[in-house]
Amino acid sequence: MSLFLRLLFRNKLAGFGAVVLGVIVLLALLTPILPLHLPNETNTANRFLRPMSEGHLLGTDHLGRDLLSRLMWGTRLSLAVGFAAALVAGLLGAAIGVMAGYFGGRTDNVTMRGVDMLMAFPYILLALAIVAVLGPGLLNALIAVAVVNIPFFARNIRGVTVGIAHREFIDAAKLAGMGHTRILLTEVVPNIVPVVVIAMSTTIGWMILETAGLSFLGLGSQPPQADLGSMLGEARSALITAPHTSIVPGVMILLIVMSVNLLGDGIRDALDPRLRSGALARPMATTRVERAEAPAPKGEGLLRIDDLETQFHVGSRIYKAVNKVSLDLKPGECLGLIGESGSGKSVTALSVMGLVASPPGVITGGAVRLEGRDLIGAPYEVLRSLRGRKVAYIFQDPLSTLHPLYHIGDQLIEAIRVHEHVTHAQAHERAVKLLEDVRIPNAGARAKAYPHELSGGMRQRVGIAMALANDPDIIIADEPTTALDVTVQAQILALLSDLRRDRGLAILFITHDFGVVGQLCDRVAVMYGGRIVEAGDTAEVLAAPAHPYTKRLIACVPELGGGRRELAAIPGLPPAVDDLPAGCAFAPRCDKAQTACRADEIDLTGDTHKVRCLYPEGAS
């Protein structure tokens, strides 16, 4: 509860709303004892006095009545009616919703049909119909506004109740022999009270507005009694000659409704866990860069990543997802990047083209050089023109990575046309050709399919075709086969292997599966806790893994036809990268770890076969 209040008041606007509303409510409560004129005391000699007149702070209206006094009494009335309407609608709506949700079946069906019918009316229209029957009057307006809002509450509360009615503690209560009434009162109602309160706090502004509206039309409070709405309605005829008589009550309605809305929003936001964690932040077009200086290039290569550091800044926490990673890729080469989930391999790959979601991602150091040109901190337009043209990506789950509402053909055409000035017809022809290249049968017709109409393997072929669209030099494949079943996986790997040979593509292949690396990659780098722990030629690493982690990863791959053998899982979990231990990150899970492993940072040593370990495998 104190956390809730703290969150609520950290939101400045909600705090402002609470203060304004508090002052207004307090003044409304104190109105009878404040030294004011009588609200209905007419004095036609003093009609339409301007504000700041003697004895009348806000002036007078068309009958010479004191506006300040009428404003306070009107506010009092409007607030009371608004709160009452919210209370009535909330209670009745909640009662209906609880009944429907708890009993379910036919009760539920019939009630909810009725609610749907009521919701089929435009909102105010129904209120008008009810006032038409009951006749003008403030109480009738209150009833109308309350009735119109009942369906909203009933539907919300029903949803919540259905969720509760099937929980274990309700079953337990039934088994204990409790009657429906008792279960409803002791088990269900306490759980829905917060929901009702929130729904009321967000709709109360509406109710005040609506009752004021009906009064404005002359269907609510009747003279001489006045709420804010009828004050406005009466002032309308003198709008041009004495505008202050309209402005005073109008501004008051605005203030009340705005402060209620601000407070309601604040309450809702404070209760929304997604806002609390910042999970609703949008990623920008390129990853944020906060880099002091680019390190000197360590060598040549088509793509060189030098000492790359990518972090996630969430609140005051810093997650070092990529920690001084260096990789290089030569033309036509396939480099495997392997590690468990959370090891930083995907973040490394996304950092290349500035695609790490930011916020929270920040590139804090290192360089990514494509043909010698540093891309970290490069202007957006430079990165954009390289994306897809020089460096293309294939992502993991093509159902979520392809746009669900565009034909796959159009998505391919777009990929072509962002980088080349060709006509739509030419692009279409090439798109179909690309689909044929990735061995999609009946490509011309398939171009008109939506992603959800294709199988997983077909979708991934589309993803590959899209990466090939502009004949890139490099393809970064981020676990392209993980979401697929084994036979499809083999087909996709064979396809990638062929394409690489035919087109001279360099591939950075990210996976957690050493079996896949063995099939496709010339070299492999192993990542753990945001660092490279071992790198070398695939055959060499597979034959003689030097890092204990690599050895364990290789032992995880089942061998087809290799007979029955125990698969060695690695105990424990990968480290949290916001709180890395000193020394080797793998030490807590390593059965060979010594004290020295936990002391200082360990360097990546070796010539072609590099390893970051004090006691590498095979060495004695």
Partner 1 sequence: MGGYILKRLLSAIPVLLGITVIVFLIMAMIPGDPATAILGSYATPENVERLNRHLGLDEPLWRQYFIWLGNLVQGDFGRSFALNRPVLDEILDRFSATLVLAGTAFVLCSLLGIVAGVVSAARQYGLADKAITFVVILGISVPSFFLGMMMILFFAVQLRWFPVSGMYSIWGGGDLPDLIRHLTMPALALSVVATGVIARLSRGAMLEVLRQDFVRTARAKGVHERRVIWGHALRAAMVGIIPVLGIQAGFVLSGAVYIEMVFQWPGVGRMLVDGILKRDILLVQGGVVFIAACYVGFNIIVDVAQAWLDPRIKT
Q: Which of residues 167-206 bind partner 1 (CB under 8 A)?
A: 205
Q: How many CB atoms lie within 10 A of CB 268?
A: 15
CA neighbor of 256 nearest in space, from 73, 84, 22 = 22
With respect to partner 1, which residue has the nearer C-beta, 17 or 529?
A: 17
Contact 343, 321 (CB under 8 A): no
Q: Is 131 in the site for partner 1 (CB under 8 A)?
A: yes
CA neighbor of 463 nearest in space, from 392, 517, 513 = 392
Handedness of CA 101, 103, 109, 114 (dihedral sign): negative
List the beta strands (DSSP E) in 420-538: 474-478, 506-511, 523-528, 531-537
Name the β-bridge partners of 524: 336, 536
Classify residue 162 by burial, with Cβ atoms within 10 Å: 0-12, 13-18, 19+: middle
Q: Is 404 in the site for partner 1 (CB under 8 A)?
A: yes
Q: Is 567 in the site for partner 1 (CB under 8 A)?
A: no
With respect to partner 1, which residue has the nearer C-beta, 361 or 530?
A: 361
CA dist 525 and 308 (Å) reads: 15
Candidates 120, 425, 543, 567; binder of partner 1 (CB under 8 A) is 120
With respect to partner 1, which residue has the nearer C-beta, 13 or 178?
A: 13
Q: Candidates 43-51, 88-96, 391-399, 519-527 — which segment interacts with partner 1 by CB under 8 A?
A: 391-399
Name the β-bridge partners of 526: 338, 534
Q: Is 459 in the site for partner 1 (CB under 8 A)?
A: no
Q: How far is the first Cα of the chain from the last one, in angstroms, to the nearest whole number?
A: 60
- Binding residues for partner 1 restricted to 266-295, rule: CB under 8 A: 280-283, 285
Closest separation between CB of residue 183 and partner 1, Å? 32
Q: Candidates 39-47, 394-402, 520-528, 567-575 — which segment interacts with partner 1 by CB under 8 A?
A: 394-402
Handedness of CA 22, 24, 27, 29 (dihedral sign): negative
Q: Is 217 in the site for partner 1 (CB under 8 A)?
A: yes
Candidates 19, 32, 174, 380; binder of partner 1 (CB under 8 A) is 380
With respect to partner 1, which residue has the nearer C-beta, 385 or 442?
A: 385
With respect to partner 1, which residue has the nearer C-beta, 124 or 570?
A: 124
Number of residues that bind partner 1 (CB under 8 A): 81
Q: Candidates 114-122, 294-302, 427-435, 567-575 — which segment interacts with partner 1 by CB under 8 A?
A: 114-122
CB within 8 Å of 194: residues ≥ 6 apart: none
- Binding residues for partner 1 restricted to 408-447, rule: CB under 8 A: 414-415, 418-419
- State the DSSP H helix or E strand holding residue 462, giving kind and residue range, or none if neither: helix 456-468
Q: Is 505 in the site for partner 1 (CB under 8 A)?
A: no
Classify residue 27 by burial, with Cβ atoms within 10 Å: 0-12, 13-18, 19+: middle
Q: Is 553 in the site for partner 1 (CB under 8 A)?
A: no
Q: Is 96 in the site for partner 1 (CB under 8 A)?
A: no
> Contacts from 455-459 at CB under 8 Å and sequence distance 24+?
455/488, 456/398, 456/399, 456/483, 456/484, 456/485, 456/488, 457/484, 457/488, 457/491, 457/492, 459/398, 459/399, 459/402
Q: Is 124 in the site for partner 1 (CB under 8 A)?
A: yes
Taking residues 331 to 370 in sequence order and writing x for each that binds partner 1 by CB under 8 A, - otherwise, the string is -------------------x--x-x-x-------------
Q: Is 232 in the site for partner 1 (CB under 8 A)?
A: yes
Q: How many CB atoms lie within 10 A of CB 317?
A: 12
Q: Which two tokens stand for residue 416?
A: 């072509």
CA neighbor of 242 nearest in space, from 65, 49, 434 = 49
Closest separation between CB of residue 140 and partner 1, Å? 11
Closest separation between CB of residue 222 and partner 1, Å? 11
- Binding residues for partner 1 restricted to 146-165, rule: CB under 8 A: none
Candidates 23, 29, 34, 129; binder of partner 1 (CB under 8 A) is 129
Closest separation between CB of residue 617 and partner 1, Å? 37
Candidates 466, 484, 521, 590; binder of partner 1 (CB under 8 A) is 466
Q: Candidates 96-104, 239-247, 299-307, 563-571 — which segment interacts with partner 1 by CB under 8 A?
A: 239-247
Q: Is 455 in the site for partner 1 (CB under 8 A)?
A: no
CA dist 39 and 43 (Å) reads: 11
Name the percent of the chain in helix, strand, coil, to the closest 5.
Answer: 50, 15, 35
Name the β-bridge partners of 66: 60
With respect to partner 1, which residue has the nearer C-beta, 187 or 210?
A: 210
Q: Candidates 254-262, 324-332, 424-432, 510-518 — which segment interacts with partner 1 by CB under 8 A?
A: 254-262
- Residue that the structure tokens 């050493």 belong to: 514
Candidates 24, 77, 192, 257; binder of partner 1 (CB under 8 A) is 257
Candidates 26, 30, 185, 239; binder of partner 1 (CB under 8 A) is 239
Q: Candidates 120-128, 164-172, 181-189, 517-525 — which segment interacts with partner 1 by CB under 8 A?
A: 120-128
